[in-house]
């Protein structure tokens, strides 16, 4: 529904745009990009016409740039036209049968599995940066160099959050912001920048996410490696034992199970179990990818 009176402040325009995009079902990542683009454009227009009031500039911008509702429709149409690693969104994709074996054809499952294997490295790196940066920022805060170092550390965390968002979008097919938030104004004092950085919830949510990636990364990596190793070991080992006629499986605590793995029917069952386990791993990976995508949207995309 159109607004009777157009917004007369930048903040009001952005709030109206956010409400309109949410009402149209836009993803948080797309909304964040649209807000950043509009905020930068509106601030540039105001800076270009310093003698005019903010309300006058916005009234003229609305006529040329468009109302919040029109901009929301434009961004939604643009997003639908852009193809990515997963061309069809969940809303436009045809109904897919999610049977147990159909997961092998789902690219999201393989992307999530790759993300689980990668998360240990990224988690260790993120955690090291956050812990080291916070410790040095607190330790150097009493010195002159402490304040610029803290601002640098916050900027690094935001860049890492943006990089992580690109990885998530590429591997987990979750729409994340594709541009960094608008830069601080050049005429702002360092104390204003510090205040804005410390009061911005995105600063703390991003740091929390980066630190959280260490335990999550360890859990994801262990689940993925254990599942793949068990699946490959059972399948390849059983087939090799059937070919050579000699089984190397030793289970001294369960004699009857060890005997079963030394028979042809037992080895066939073990190979089938290994193959089925691979499908289970893909289902777990797809579930982990969906869950982690929701965590990333909650902590990295702040509107």
pLDDT tens, 62-114? 888 788 888 888 888 888 776 554 444 444 444 455 678 888 888 999 999 99
Q: What is the DSSP string of 139-185?
A: HHTTSTTHHHHHHHHHHHHHHHHHHHHHHHHHHH-----SSPPPPPP
**Bigger pLDDT: 13 vs 200:** 13
C-alpha distance from residue 114 to each of 108, 109, 163 (Å)? 10, 9, 16
pLDDT for residue 131: 95
Q: Phi and psi of 180, rounded to 5°?
A: -75, 155
> d(Cα 29, Cα 26) in Å, to the nearest integer?
8
pLDDT for residue 295: 94
Task: Report yes or no: 180 and 137 within 8 Å, Cβ to Cβ.
Answer: no
> What totals of helices (H) and strands (E) does the chain contain, helices first?
10, 0
For residues 235-247, give the mean pLDDT: 80
pLDDT for residue 180: 74
Task: Report yes or no: 172 and 112 within 8 Å, Cβ to Cβ.
Answer: yes
**Bigger pLDDT: 183 vs 257:** 257
For residues 112-124, give the mean pLDDT: 96
pLDDT for residue 1: 44
pLDDT over 70 for what percent of the chain?
83
> d(Cα 184, Cα 197) in Å, to the nearest integer?
10
**Bigger pLDDT: 268 vs 291:** 291
pLDDT for residue 191: 67
Q: What is the DSSP string of 83-99?
A: --SS-S-TTTSPP----
Residue 289 pLDDT grade (very low, low, confident, very high; cuts 50, 70, 90): very high
DSSP state of 232: H
**Bigger pLDDT: 59 vs 228:** 228
The mean-pLDDT minimum among 105-114, 168-177, 190-199, 290-299 falls in 190-199
Q: CB under 8 Å to 275, separation ≥6 — which residues?
A: 231, 235
For residues 278-302, give the mean pLDDT: 93
> d(Cα 72, Cα 20) in Å, to the nearest integer?
6
Residue 124 has pLDDT above 60, yes or no: yes
* Radius of gyration (C-alpha) of the chain in whole angstroms: 26
pLDDT for residue 96: 55
Q: CB under 8 Å to 140, separation ≥6 — which residues?
A: 146, 149, 150
pTM, rounded to two decimals: 0.80
pLDDT for residue 83: 53
């Amino acid at each position: 529904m159109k607004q009777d009176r157009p917004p007369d402040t930048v903040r009001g325009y952005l709030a109206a745009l956010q409400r309109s995009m949410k009402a149209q079902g836009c993803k948080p990542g797309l909304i964040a990009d649209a807000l950043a683009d509009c905020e930068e454009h509106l601030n540039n227009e105001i800076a270009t016409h310093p003698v005019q009031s903010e309300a006058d500039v916005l009234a003229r911008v609305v006529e040329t740039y468009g109302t919040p509702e029109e901009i929301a429709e434009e961004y939604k149409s643009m997003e639908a036209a852009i193809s990515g690693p997963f061309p069809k969104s969940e809303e436009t994709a045809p109904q897919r049968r999610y049977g147990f074996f159909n997961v092998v054809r789902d690219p999201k499952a393989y992307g999530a599995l790759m993300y689980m294997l990668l998360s240990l490295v990224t988690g260790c790196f993120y955690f090291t940066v956050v812990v080291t940066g916070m410790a040095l920022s607190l330790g150097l805060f009493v010195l002159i160099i402490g304040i610029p170092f803290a601002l640098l550390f916050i900027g690094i965390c935001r860049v890492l959050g943006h990089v992580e968002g690109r990885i998530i979008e590429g591997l987990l097919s979750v729409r994340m912001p594709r541009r960094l938030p608008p830069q601080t104004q050049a005429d702002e004092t360092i104390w204003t920048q510090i205040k804005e950085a410390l009061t911005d919830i995105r600063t703390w949510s991003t740091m929390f996410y980066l630190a959280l990636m260490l335990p999550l990364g360890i859990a994801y990596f262990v689940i993925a490696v254990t599942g793949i190793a068990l699946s490959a070991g059972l399948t390849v080992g059983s087939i090799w034992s059937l070919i050579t006629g000699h089984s190397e499986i030793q289970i001294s605590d369960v004699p009857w199970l060890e005997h079963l793995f030394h028979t042809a029917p037992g080895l066939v069952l073990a190979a089938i179990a290994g193959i089925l386990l691979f499908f289970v791993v893909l289902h777990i990976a797809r579930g982990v990818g969906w869950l982690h995508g929701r965590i990333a949207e909650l902590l990295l995309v702040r509107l």
